[in-house]
Amino acid sequence: MNNLVRISRDDDVAVITIDNPPVNALSPGVPEGIWAAIDEMNGDPAVKAAVVIGGGRTFVAGADIKEFGKMTSGEKPRGNLLPLLLHIEDSAKPVVMAIHGAAFGGGLELAMAGHYRVASPTAQVGQPEVNLGIIPGAGGTQRLPRLVGVAKAVEMCAEGKPVSARNAAALGLIDRLIEGDLLAGALAFTREIADKPAPKTRERSEKLGTTAGNTPIFSAARDVARKKQRGLKAPLAAIDAVEAATRLPFEEGCEAERELFTECLFSDQSKALIHVFFGEREVAKIPDVPKETPVISVNHVAVVGSGTMGGGIAIVFANAGIPVLLKDVDEAALALGMSKIKKNYASSVQRGRFSQTFVDERLRLIAPVLTYDAFSDVDMVVEAVFEGMALKKSVFADLDRACKPGTILASNTSTLNIDEISAATSRPEAVIGTHFFSPANVMRLLEIVRGKKSSKEVIATCMQLSKKLGKIGVLVGNCRGFVGNRMFGPYRREAQFLIEEGAEVEAVDRALVEFGNAMGPLATGDLAGLDVGWRIRKEYRHLEKPGIRQPFAEDRLCELGRYGQKTLKGWYRYDENRRASADPEVTALVRRWSAEAGIAQRQISAAEIVERCIYALVNEGARILEEGYALRAVDIDIIYLNGYGFPAYRGGPMWHADTVGLQKVYQRICEFHQQHGEIWTPAPLLQRLAEAGKTFAAFDKEQVAAEVFEPANRA
Ligand code: 3HC
């Protein structure tokens, strides 16, 4: 064996333990270790069978994802798992796989090569490879349908969602659930089956169905994949691979799977999604706030303001089992807020997301209040009142008086200066921004805004809490709009410029939806309310440099009362069910305004629409990065994927720019600069990286290696 796989004996059963922390990935050395252990067990006359179990917190989380990057950058592939799995399946003595934690990807493929599987009831199994832009590559698409049937295998491989051990047992994937000590239960099970013939998964065919029965399953799954995983190639490849299992003998099916796997692995989509996998974990790492930083226990919280955001945030805490006080200024506002929360939960029950019992329990955790009296007990407050500095300051002064020392005072502001807010308190170290995205109980992103004086404990607590709340927390610096909205400004600005230059509203949105965004920029504006940005622009107009081109169409639409969906008129017009259609009136208005402004009209291609909008994101992102308001380019990517509907398979705006090539992006931005003026001045960091032939990803690596991060707070 080796130091990654151990073998020991429990009387007449061998125990093979995989020990590759933290998640027992099948890194080089693990497959070899398992192979040798199987050989040793078969060669030991005193042993009748083997149990394979994971050491530490999990069974096996899959192939080692870090190896994929090496493979696609030209290293010789190591450790093809397929021969190992055949070796296990052909073992003369039975092998029982004992699963706790997760058996994901290659982990489940390994488990399916065993003759039996037992699991802790809390374990999960799954083929999540599509989330990495690939498909199972070690026979998963061939063995899974033989165990659970074609429909379920297609679903698991194409959607990538985990299945609980209980459900897996009902499907026939797990032979026995073991309550209590897993190893003891697995050993007892193994002794029961040790003398029986050992079934080989690959030789089973009773669940593979018939062509007539399977055809509609595959075609329905393809329809679902095209709709729900729009633009992603891997789900369709996974369906093709499962289909191969129903048409071809096992070995040929595996070859077909391998070809599809390799094609996916070398795609830009897979590289982007692997970047996202590691990026989601990277953002949790704050160079000057190490893992050991003490955290404050957050067991009881309060939310100030019961409007859409406040109510959504209260739901987020309640869903995580944390009791929450919800405060508003009068009975009417509070009653309205609570009724919206109840309506929200009722619709979750209706859609089958939550049970009524769960909802009843959550609602009991939300206590509506009109005063700060009970605030002396809470560990954290999230303020979610209207965006206005004077109001926020007065709320924070009240909180300072009402809360015990140590309570975290967080603001949900999306634009205002956290340091100015914190100055209204006697404890600026306790003040931080927690910028939730609307709808707060749905969107995964939480921008955590570090003020100049926010303490490390407060930052560490919020980062950790975000995980508990089911969010992905990204630490950002305190600049106007923070990271996400600061970049969104130039993006939406370009969308408007394009309209003013002659593009159709629908054409702009369509181009960006085809690029993969969840929604087009103009439809997004209508949904959020065009008046929101209009009011902010009016407030900040005095800061605009004279002589720089500014968009005007949206402000003019607002002047006409066209605020978007809420007035049933904005960039589009809406029927009473808020279904959008193109509005010729908008086209006519914009044409007239553009003529008055002397803007030449022209045909604009979808490619230019995408470049103008997306490179506006990239250019602003590069500035943010250089100014230190985001720690890494990947932090910006994670923000855009989780808060702004950017397609994960493009890895985020900065990764996308790397994929296109920074020289090319920089060159286009220089052209836009010439055509449209100062607003398109290339970001100096982008220029430097492009001229040096580097990427944002390389910039991130250099930063990490050199530990050159500064607190994201340079004013
Ligand atoms: N390979 C390499 N590293 C992995 C890994 C994997 N398969 N899975 C997790 N890790 C790393 C993470 O990057 C993280 O590293 P870090 O501490 O340096 O940031 C560490 O392990 C812990 O991971 P998490 O923070 O995610 O820990 P959690 O406890 O929250 O979650 C988990 C554990 C549910 C197992 C989760 O890590 C997970 O879902 N992992 C990925 C599973 C997966 O996608 N498997 C398929 C791989 S592809 C494959 O198997 C192809 C095959 O068909 C040939």
Comparing C-alpha atoms, which of 500, 478, 482, 512 is closest to residue 614?
A: 512
Number of other residues whose CB lies within 10 A of the CB of residue 179: 8
Burial class (CB in 10 A: 0-12, 13-18, 19+), 301: buried
| Cβ of 137 less than 6 Å from ligand 1 | yes
Residue 61 Cα, ligand 1 centroid: separation in angstroms? 6
Q: 611-655: per-residue pLDDT in tens?
A: 999 999 999 999 999 999 999 999 999 999 999 999 999 999 999
ω before 711 within 30° of 0 (cis)?
Answer: no
Q: What is the pLDDT of residue 78?
A: 65
Mean pLDDT of all residues belonging to the chain:
95
Residue nearest to atom 35 of ligand 1 (CA): 61
More confident residue, 340 or 535: 340
Whether residue 38 is predicted with pLDDT greater than 90 in this model: the reply is yes
**How far is residue 187's CA from residue 336's CA, in Å, rounded to a whole number?**
58
Identify the H or E element spanning 392. Answer: helix 389-402
pLDDT of residue 195: 92
DSSP strand E in 428-495: where?
A: 431-436, 445-449, 472-476
Which ligand 1 atom is nearest residue 281's CA?
A: 19
**Which residue CA neighbors atom 36 of ligand 1 most closely?**
61
| pLDDT greater than 80 at residue 472 | yes
Give pLDDT tens digits for 556-575: 999 999 999 999 999 999 99
Q: Which residues contact 520 (CB under 8 A, 6 or more apart)?
A: 495, 508, 509, 510, 511, 512, 513
Given a cut of 60, whether residue 57 has pLDDT beyond it is: yes
Say which range, 265-269, 374-378, 538-542, has the weakest mean pLDDT.
538-542
112/40 Cα distance (integer angstroms): 21
Active-site residues, by number, are: 109, 129
> pLDDT tens, 382-398?
999 988 899 999 999 99
Q: What is the DSSP letter of 557?
A: H
Cβ(105) – ligand 1 distance below 6 Å:
yes
CA dihedral 308, 309, 313, 315 (to 10 degrees): 10
The alpha carbon torsion through 54, 60, 65, 66 (nearest 10 deg) reads: 0
**Which atom of ligand 1 lies closest to the CA of 104?**
45
Answer whether 309's CB lies under 8 Å from 436's CB. Answer: yes
Q: How far is the CA of 129 from the centre of ligand 1 (A)?
A: 11
- CB atoms under 10 Å from CB of 347, counted, come to 11
Cβ–ligand 1 contact at 136 (below 6 Å):
yes
Q: What is residue 545's predicted lDDT score, i.e. its pLDDT? A: 81
- Kindly give the distance from the C-alpha atom of residue 65 to the centroid of ligand 1, in angstroms, as a whole number: 7
User: Does residue 25 line the site of ligand 1, with CB under 6 A?
Assistant: yes
Could you tell me the pLDDT band of residue 715, with boundaries at 50, 70 and 90?
very low
Determine the Cα–Cα distance for residues 316 and 298; give it in Å rounded to an integer.
14
pLDDT for residue 671 is more than 50: yes
* Residue having the nearest C-alpha atom to atom 16 of ligand 1: 281
Token pair recorded at residue 601:
């009209």
User: Quick check: CB of 683 below 6 Å from ligand 1?
Assistant: no
Please tell me the distance from the alpha carbon of residue 533 to that of residue 272, in angstroms, as a whole number: 32
Model confidence at 79: pLDDT above 70: no
pLDDT band with cut points at 50, 70 and 90 for residue 77: low
Sign of torsion over alpha carbons 629, 631, 633, 634: negative
Q: How confident is the model at residue 705 (pLDDT cuts 50, 70, 90)?
A: confident
CA distances from 230 to 71, 514, 649 (A): 27, 9, 10
Of the residues 65, 67, 109, 468, which should be mutated to test ligand 1's pocket, given the most ligand atoms within 8 Å of the CB? 65
Contact of 281 with 147, CB cutoff 8 Å:
no
The model scores a pTM over 0.75 = yes
Q: Is the pLDDT of residue 208 over 80?
A: yes
Q: In this predicted structure, what is the pLDDT of residue 714? A: 42
| 284 Cα nearest atom in ligand 1 | 19
In the numeric block, the tokens 């407050």 are attached to 381
Tell me which amino acid residue 363 is: L
For a substitution probing ligand 1, which of 4, 23, 135 has the most ligand atoms within 8 Å of its CB?
Answer: 23
Residue type, 42: N
Round to whole Å and give the CA distance between 183 and 192.
Answer: 14
The yes-or-no verdict on residue 106 having pLDDT over 50 is yes
pLDDT, residue 23, reads 98
Of 15, 9, 130, 26, which Cα lies nearest the Cα of 84?
26
With a 6 Å cutoff on the Cβ, whether 261 touches ligand 1 is: no
List of E strands, 89-137:
95-99, 102-104, 116-119, 124-126
Q: Does any ligand 1 atom lie closer than 6 A to the CB of residue 468? A: no
* The residue type at 269: Q
Q: Tell me, in angstroms, the distance from the centre of ligand 1 to residue 273's CA.
A: 13
- Say what the pLDDT of residue 707 is: 62
What local confidence, expressed as pLDDT, does residue 459 receive? 98
Half-sphere exposure of 703 (CA within 13 A, CB side): 21
pLDDT tops 80 at residue 223: yes
Residue 549 has a pLDDT of 87
Q: Which residue's CA is the closest to the ligand 1 atom numbered 32?
A: 61
